């Protein structure tokens, strides 16, 4: 039951913002959005100016809208904070066995080989904004590629793990001379550009320490000055306190744009277009997929022969 104190008066600024957000959320079915993504959509629609006050006002309005259940809280996500409630459920041995059998069945019937086996390239996505992780993961999982998420500058532990993964791929995978492609996504601001520069340097330095030679290529995908004009993204002035501001302004002008300002579906399409340009689909269809289908059929037959699935049939 919704408390009377949470009822929202109609035809107010808050009410219009909530209704606009409700309509916006219907356009992104199955996708949970952050407050910042919603804010930039409304700025882009000309509903609110791009100011700190309006951002804070929208935040309060959407809290009210969710409390009143005008907006479904399930469509929102806050990736800057996390919590996990520990389960205190006692499972029976039978329920555990049924769960393991289901996993065995799913593994057999949905068996997949890594799409990039035998490909000339291996692609990584570098994302500067943790708040956009879910948007990127949907496509990266579909494409079978690694997503590297930053929250500011990379830690050494992250650089070490990425380089180690590259080293293992270099030693084990075919072909041995595979090229590693890094597509980078970040804010169009002094720090966003420097984070990418720093990542490239860290990878190079760590590859020397781990004694591997990385054949790599870095491509900055978004946000670019061209995209700012094309999508009419809302700019803000460069923070003059940033030590890199002067150099950035000389090169790009006195305007910064956050990656969140680009619509999620456009970001996902950028990932698809750029990644698939390095994917040899003909090789996958002719060589990898037939092997995958053969293996899957074998696993399905072995699963059926084992009769372990009877426990699930009895349940139904």
Distance (Å, whole) CA 97 – CA 277: 44
Residues 199-223: what's their mean pLDDT? 87
* CB-based contacts of 211, cutoff 8 Å, min separation 6: none
The pLDDT value recorded for residue 2 is 45
Contacts for 42-49: CB closer than 8 Å, 24+ residues apart: 42/17, 43/234, 43/261, 44/231, 44/232, 44/233, 44/234, 44/261, 45/20, 47/16, 47/17, 47/20, 48/17
Nearest to 50 by CA among 237, 198, 187: 237
The pLDDT value recorded for residue 3 is 42
% of the chain residues with pLDDT over 90: 47
pLDDT band at 314 (very low <50, low <70, confident <90, very high): low
The pLDDT value recorded for residue 297 is 96
The pLDDT value recorded for residue 82 is 59
pLDDT band at 98 (very low <50, low <70, confident <90, very high): confident
pLDDT score of 316 more than 90: no
The pLDDT value recorded for residue 5 is 44
pLDDT digits (tens, 9 = 90+) for 107-152: 999 999 999 999 999 999 999 888 888 899 999 999 999 998 887 7
pLDDT score of 170 more than 80: no
Q: Where are the domains of the chain?
A: 4-75, 121-282
The pLDDT value recorded for residue 142 is 93
Looking at 87-101, 226-240, 275-289, which range is the least confident one?
87-101
pLDDT band at 8 (very low <50, low <70, confident <90, very high): confident
Of residues 119 and 312, the one with the higher pLDDT is 119
Looking at 19-23, 65-69, 164-168, 253-257, which range is the least confident one?
164-168
Surface-to-core class of residue 55, CB atoms within 10 Å of its CB (0-12 exposed, 13-18 middle, 19+ buried): middle
Q: Architecture of 121-282 per CATH? A: 3-Layer(aba) Sandwich (3.40)
Residue 223: asked if its preceding bond is cis (omega within 30°), the reply is: yes
pLDDT score of 88 more than 50: yes
């Amino acid at each position: 039951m919704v408390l009377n104190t949470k009822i929202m008066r109609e035809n107010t600024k808050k009410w219009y913002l909530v209704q606009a957000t409700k309509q916006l959320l219907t356009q992104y079915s199955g996708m949970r959005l952050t407050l910042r993504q919603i804010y930039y959509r409304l700025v882009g629609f000309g509903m609110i100016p791009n100011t700190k006050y309006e951002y804070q006002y929208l935040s309060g309005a959407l809290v009210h809208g969710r409390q009143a259940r005008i907006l479904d809280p399930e469509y929102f996500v806050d990736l800057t904070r996390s919590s996990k409630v520990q389960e205190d459920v006692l499972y029976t041995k039978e329920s555990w066995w049924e769960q393991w059998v289901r996993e065995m069945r799913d593994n057999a019937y949905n068996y997949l080989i890594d799409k990039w086996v035998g490909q000339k390239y291996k692609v990584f996505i570098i994302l500067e904004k943790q708040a956009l992780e879910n948007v990127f993961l949907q496509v990266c999982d579909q494409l079978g590629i690694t997503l590297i998420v930053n929250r500011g500058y990379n830690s050494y532990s992250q650089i070490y793990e990425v380089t180690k993964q590259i080293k293992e791929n270099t030693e084990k995978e075919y072909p041995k001379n595979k090229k590693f492609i890094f597509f980078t996504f970040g804010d169009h601001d002094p720090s966003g550009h420097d984070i990418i520069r720093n990542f490239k340097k860290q990878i190079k330095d760590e590859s020397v320490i781990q004694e591997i030679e990385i054949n790599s290529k870095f491509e900055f995908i978004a946000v670019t000055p061209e995209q700012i004009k094309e999508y009419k993204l809302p700019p803000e002035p460069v923070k003059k306190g940033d030590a890199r501001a002067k150099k950035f302004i000389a090169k790009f002008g006195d305007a910064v744009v956050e990656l969140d300002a680009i619509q999620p579906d456009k970001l996902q399409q950028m990932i698809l277009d750029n990644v698939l340009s390095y994917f040899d689909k003909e090789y996958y269809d002719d060589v990898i997929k037939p092997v995958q289908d053969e293996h899957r059929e074998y696993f399905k037959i072995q699963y059926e022969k084992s009769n372990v699935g009877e426990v699930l049939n009895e349940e139904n």
